[in-house]
Structure 1
């Protein structure tokens, strides 16, 4: 993986030529209502709006340069500055335009000015005195609201290099500029930098957005149990590429379907199947004919009424695009995007790419997914939650917050649960050997409990602490099969496998932990031990905290 360059304070952006021209202007700005050529203004404004919407900042800049001076021009210049992430300049231009008295008292232009002024101010509050790192290849820049989160940079750069290469071939598009990531240290800050509300963020567990030619994500450090942050970064990068390829003409359902389908492309050549919780949601919705409509998905899946409905929507569009990919290959996806980029309705474009009507495709997709999801095991949907303030220190110390409380309530009220609860009490008092015996008694007391994944995890982690890695491995593997995205469990499994000499297996387990929560201190100690590349080994040793 690539080394992380030394961080430096985040700059406010390059000097905007529009600002320079404005400062040098000697004539009084012309109010929009008195513009000498209203038709010319309208044509330039339409050109600008189309270019900004397509993220064609060069054409947008040319349109602004051709506009007559005045507050209306300053609004467009401010919007351009915002898309360039030059937030102070954007605020200055937009605030001046709003206060000038030259904008119409109501209407689209004033609403545009106020919208982007709020975003420019929100972005500065969200990022604060940020730092910025650039990838060694210069293709990615990451801005961190909190320097603690710079730890993730090298892993992000490596994954993005893989994704960039893969998608250049798969989607036929590669940005001609560095892709900007902004990493926030509080989930609620997403509401400062986007149209989302605090309620949207908390209700659906949103952790990433792609908008205004940047990718904004929440650090896994501030989320309870972390989250699949590398897959999320690649998911958002797919949004970025589809926006560029289609000039932002792809509707939400198509954007999200492709992003979800391809988010693991950096680590798997083929799309991965639905995870059990999503599979269960989709099976239930298909049976009840209670799917999320495309209209409900607009303008954002983050605005759906619950995390379950959002997860269902993702499962629907992921599998729809998955069926197209399976049956028509990459050519089908390319044809779909080509038609959408040309302005064709997305449903009609999908139908054409598949080779029949959209209604027939929809019926076929439903039949396929009913067969694939029927009778398959499900699982609980993992809720994405921010860390509470009193949990932050414990999480940074490496404590596993998922083990707090009565984790064995599901065992019922028999002897198995009694032995398991006694095991917890003995563990808390430091009597690890005695605790292990109680867990073994719990497994022996009830055949239905013997392979319980939560019990297997507790016992496996105890054996690992007691220096009995060989006994820990099968238990931790069983628990990991049930909850593969639990980072502390994956880290424990990785350590046990390393200690028994299975270095390849250890790397896989540790990689699972890393892509969910790279802030587990001891994780890096094990990564250092299994690293093949000397530079990686040195980096991981520097991050190791036992």
Structure 2
């Protein structure tokens, strides 16, 4: 082997020094504030457009004309709604269905019918439109018929309208009405037949012409947004909605659609804010209630959804989304009979409609109830065989369940029916791109990755994965019935498409049951890569989900599957999490079994989800410490049998939920004391809670003599000496040593003590501190590199190899690190492990002939090994 490209000791020392330069975090710091995320742009703030503002400020308009303008642009006051027409126009777009003017026969039928369509009152809408043959009325007739499940009649009703030539330019009101009618009818048309590319392109071009004619034409903008959102073009739909709301800020449908675009788990706060914004201009609005219900269901929060749905159905008993979401609510609760009854209710309101089975199937797929989801998605497809949405959802579901052949067929059908469906198109492209990827077979896993540079990471993964399987399954007492597929995606965007059908997603790996998808651990553009991480520990977390979901038939409580996954990771609890838990314990804000669920699905504070993860892990540690590993292994199968959380606790642990928490609290208090985060007496008692002037050095010395192991006093003394440039003084090092023992969870003293030992050449003294630092990170490999160097110098090949393998897992694409790993393993006699790294070098540096020579030599050595 040639000379190693060894990472010098000075690199780690410098890194440690940079970390030490950050301010020391005190034990009494507010962990919640520290963990608060950076505030994003408020999705409810959309400035009014200059054009609509100019129209509202018109000096030439008469008082009546100004009233019409204020209604048109969503700026009305109560006094403006002084005619049935104005009151009805305001009400229909604000979704205020109890407005009496919406039943006034002097109001145009199109306005009255639109409100009835919103409520799912299909027959009444059709009756209102019976004598109106205008393009806008015809479009609404087709929409009402499709909503009622009468797809063939809808097609027939819309055929004359859709056959009308699309105006090349829009100059007159008649031309605008035709364009908006054809555009609005497009979704009903797509449910009843395939969307021809020429028609879609003509509609979008004509909408653009309408907007060019009138820069304030919010209705054209809203219809455009509907079309784009229906095809999962979220970015352009978001912009079109913003444009519409900049003209008319009281468009309830536009706000609701904007909320739905943000209603994933990570954006639930945005969706809630948008629902609140709707209620601000339309109190108790059904659009806001439906948004809240849908958001809750996406977060598995059936209890949060139910009152919202009851509110809508009390006002509009046939509202199609409310009926569908009610069935989905029962599905989320694992109540199949109630779900089927709710689906039957939806069918009575709209016989033959694909809407309710599609929504429930979509929700069941999210809950990984793939067999039940497939039945309903197929039902939706049978009812609307030419609509692209059911096969798209089927295809996405089959991707999650690892049925790629079926996914290809379904997604192909979706794209054939509507080539502008972005989610289906991206997912189909991904599957086709992945089809020729080689499949690596292990004992318990199959692994697919893109050929090329990603082979440097993929080669050698299977042996580590199989060993991880043995460890995880032994701890949990269960093995999945089928191999788990690992799909290694080349970048973050394609990982997002693999998981959701769209590029945007807020994680680096995810488990969908039998499939675990993850992106490669690589540095680069934030758009392409989310940085380095220990891929094996990340997969370990996701594989625990695979095992526990299999073990419980996907019925494990949310907090428990996350808690066990965190518990079985090799990464240990970080200092900030210790601080957060200690603060919650002291402040009486620990969750109970109900509030921990809400913290996951409806976090009230930015730190709630983080605390839910950390506290759930704490509960699992408590169960292991008090009842043993076997208790968890006995609990999990009971969930598969349908047992509730209370029943499982009573049967296995012989405690109620209340008794569990009563016993947990003193155990947790002892843990916090062991962490050094609850010193006695408290720092405030020693230093003076309301003291204004700082404690003097003399006072601090006296206090330390009286309380030599008080972590807050030690930290204060260390900080003061460090700020004066005395951080390397022997007496400060001694204080650091004491502080590291009295508050072992704080990484600060370990960084400094490791740095001092390494500079002094006392490598053995640095090891425990480096190990502590390495244990609490999965994104930094410098500690593992240094630990490997020390072990290698001491002749401990096994430890040197273990540490260098961890370093490589975090950064598998670094040729220098691969050189070092190959040399380390070769020196330790681990020829097979060395070969993995040399082969990776051949991938990373394909033009270097020496890698091929090395590989050939290693193969010869392996073949001749005894």
TM-score interval, smaller chain: 0.5 to 0.7
* CA pair 174-520 structure 1, distance change in 2 beyond 3 A: same
Q: 2:473 matched to 1:172? A: no
Kept in 2: contact 1:292–1:309 (CA 8 A): no
Match of 1:534 among 831, 842, 847: 831
Segments of structure 2 that go 5 or more residues without pairing to the other structure are 1-145, 153-343, 524-528, 678-717, 738-748, 846-866
Deviation at residue 504 of structure 1 after TM alignment:
3.1
Give the whole-Å Cα distance in 2 for the aligned partners of 1:45 and 1:235.
31
Instruction: Rate the CA distance shift 1:197–1:368 in 2: closer, same or farther, 3 A.
Output: farther
Q: What SS does the corresponding residue of 1:412 show, helix, strand or coil? A: helix
How do 1:387-426 residues align onto structure 2 when only pairs under 5 Å count? Answer: 412-416=722-726
Q: Does 1:84 pair with 2:398? A: yes
Once superposed, what is the RMSD of the aligned Cα atoms? 4.8
Change (3 A) 1:302 1:148: farther
Q: CA deviation at 1:357?
A: 0.7
Following superposition of structure 1 onto structure 2, how do residues 9-158 of structure 1 map, counting pairs within 5 Å? 33-34=149-150, 52=365, 55=368, 68=382, 70-71=384-385, 75-85=389-399, 86=404, 89-94=409-414, 119-120=423-424, 132-137=437-442, 139-144=444-449, 147-158=452-463
Deviation at 1:274, TM superposition (A): 4.2
Kindly indicate whether the alpha-carbon contact (under 8 Å) linking 1:473 and 1:493 is maintained by their aligned counterparts in 2: no
Matched residue, 1:497: 791
Match of 1:338 in 2: 637
Q: 1:449 to 1:183 in 2, by over 3 A?
A: farther
* Contact preservation (8 Å) 1:246, 1:338: yes
Deviation digits for residues 208-266 of structure 1 (CA, Å, limit 9, x no counterpart): 322375323343323787334312211111112222333322232122112122334xx
SS state of the match for residue 655, structure 2?
coil
Q: TM-score, normalised by structure 2?
A: 0.42
- Which is further off, 181-190 or 208-217? 181-190
| TM-score for both structures, normalised by structure 1 | 0.62
Q: CA deviation at 1:55?
A: 4.6
Alignment partner, residue 358 of structure 1? 657
In structure 2, the CA distance between the partners of 1:273 and 1:178, relative to structure 1 (3 Å rule), is: closer
From 516, 526, 537, the counterpart of 1:231: 537
Take 2:382 and 2:147, find their aligned partners in 1: how far apart are those partners?
10
For residue 360 of structure 1, report the CA deviation from its aligned partner: 0.7
**Is the alpha carbon distance of 1:359 and 1:296 closer, same or farther for their aligned partners in structure 2, counting shifts above 3 Å?**
closer
Counterpart residue number, 1:525: 819
CA–CA separation in structure 2 for the residues paired with 1:247 and 1:72: 34
* Displacement after TM superposition at 1:499 (Å): 2.1
Q: In the alignment, which residue of structure 1 is the partner of 2:466? A: 161
Distance 1:145 1:301 in 2: 34
Q: Is the contact made by 2:563 and 2:620 (CA closer than 8 Å) also made in structure 1?
A: yes
Q: Which string of whole-angstrom CA distances, capped at 9 and with x for unpartnered residues, describes residues 244-301 of structure 1?
A: 333322232122112122334xxxxxxx874544333222211112235666665885
Q: How far, CA to CA, are the matches of 2:438 and 2:595 in structure 1?
A: 38
Change (3 A) 1:256 1:65: closer
What secondary structure does 1:33 align onto?
A: coil
- Looking at structure 2, the residues matched to 459 and 447 of structure 1 have their Cα atoms a distance apart, in angstroms, of 8
**Structure number with larger C-alpha Rg:** 2
For the 8 Å contact 1:490–1:510, the answer to whether it is kept is yes
- Whole-Å separation in 2 of the counterparts to 1:195 and 1:360: 44
CA 1:127–1:69: 2 relative to 1, 3 Å: closer
The 1:290/1:299 distance shift into structure 2, 3 A limit, reads: closer
The alpha-carbon deviation at position 58 of structure 1 amounts to 6.4
Match of 1:215 in 2: 516
Is 2:511–2:546's contact at 8 Å kept on the other side of the alignment?
yes
**1:243 and 2:544 correspond:** no
Greater helix fraction, Structure 1 or Structure 2: 2
Contact 2:510 2:516 in 1 (8 A): yes
Report if aligned partners of 1:72, 1:97 keep a CA contact under 8 Å in 2: yes
C-alpha displacement of 1:322: 2.8
Unaligned ranges ≥5, structure 1: 1-29, 100-113, 265-271, 379-407, 418-441, 464-469
The match for 1:402 is: none
Q: Deviations over 1:501-528 (max 9, x none)?
A: 1223323432443444444444333432
2:672 equivalent in structure 1: 373
Equivalent pair of 2:446/2:483 in contact (CA under 8 Å): no
Paired residues, what number?
430
Are the aligned partners of 1:54 and 1:244 in contact in 2 as well (CA < 8 Å)? no
Distance 2:568 2:497 in 1: 26
Q: Are the counterparts in 2 of residues 181 and 217 from structure 1 also a CA contact under 8 Å?
A: yes
Given that 1:457 and 1:489 are in contact with CA atoms closer than 8 Å, whether structure 2 keeps it comes out as: no
Q: Structure 1 residues 493, 448: CA separation in 2 closer, same or farther (over 3 Å shift)?
A: same
> How do 1:424-443 residues align onto structure 2 when only pairs under 5 Å count?
442-443=728-729
What is the DSSP-based 3-state SS (H/G/I as helix, E as strand, rest coil) of the residue aligned with 1:173?
coil
Judged with a 3 Å threshold, the aligned counterparts in structure 2 of structure 1 residues 525 and 496 are, in CA distance, closer, same or farther, namely farther
Shift in Å, 1:317: 0.7
